[in-house]
């Protein structure tokens, strides 16, 4: 029986009041202050903020697995975050990304 891994896909819709925070950088780098809001949010996610602001998304995988943030993709109105125990491909038919599943939609 093949190993089954936990995989989570998260969309952070930008331009909302929920994500319009003042993100504090871990580094005191003056170059980091010139980042756009989208870049600051991405940096905050890479530094572990997702587990803090959305604890319900950060599920504990079975068998004491660890959930890692593997990739962040930027779109016009959202950030797409890919979390899993190991890097896995995302099936477009079951993805929550509008660009993925709209191509599979059947019209009556």
Tens-digit pLDDT profile for residues 36-71: 778 888 888 888 888 888 888 777 777 787 888 889
Reported as a pLDDT band with limits 50, 70 and 90, residue 3 is confident
pTM value is 0.73
Sign of CA dihedral 2, 6, 101, 81: negative
Distance CA 1, CA 16 (A): 43
Contacting residues for 37 by C-beta, under 8 A, at least 6 apart: 14, 20
Distance CA 63, CA 19 (A): 33
Cross-strand pairs, 73: 80
Q: Reply yes or no on whether the pLDDT at 105 is more than 60.
A: no
Distance CA 8, CA 29 (A): 32
User: How many other C-beta atoms lie within 10 A of the C-beta of residue 41?
Assistant: 21
| pLDDT (tens digit per residue) in 72-102 | 988 888 888 888 888 878 777 777 777 665 5
């Amino acid at each position: 029986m093949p190993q089954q891994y936990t995989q989570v896909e998260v969309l952070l819709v930008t331009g909302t009041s929920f994500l319009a925070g003042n993100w504090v950088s871990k580094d005191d780098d003056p170059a980091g202050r010139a980042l756009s809001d989208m870049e600051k949010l991405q940096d905050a996610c890479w530094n572990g903020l997702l587990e803090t602001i959305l604890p319900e998304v950060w599920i504990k995988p079975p068998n004491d697995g660890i959930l890692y943030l593997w990739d962040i993709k930027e779109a016009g109105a959202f950030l797409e975050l890919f979390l899993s125990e190991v890097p896995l491909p995302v099936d477009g038919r079951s993805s929550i990304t509008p660009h993925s599943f709209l191509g599979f939609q059947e019209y009556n």
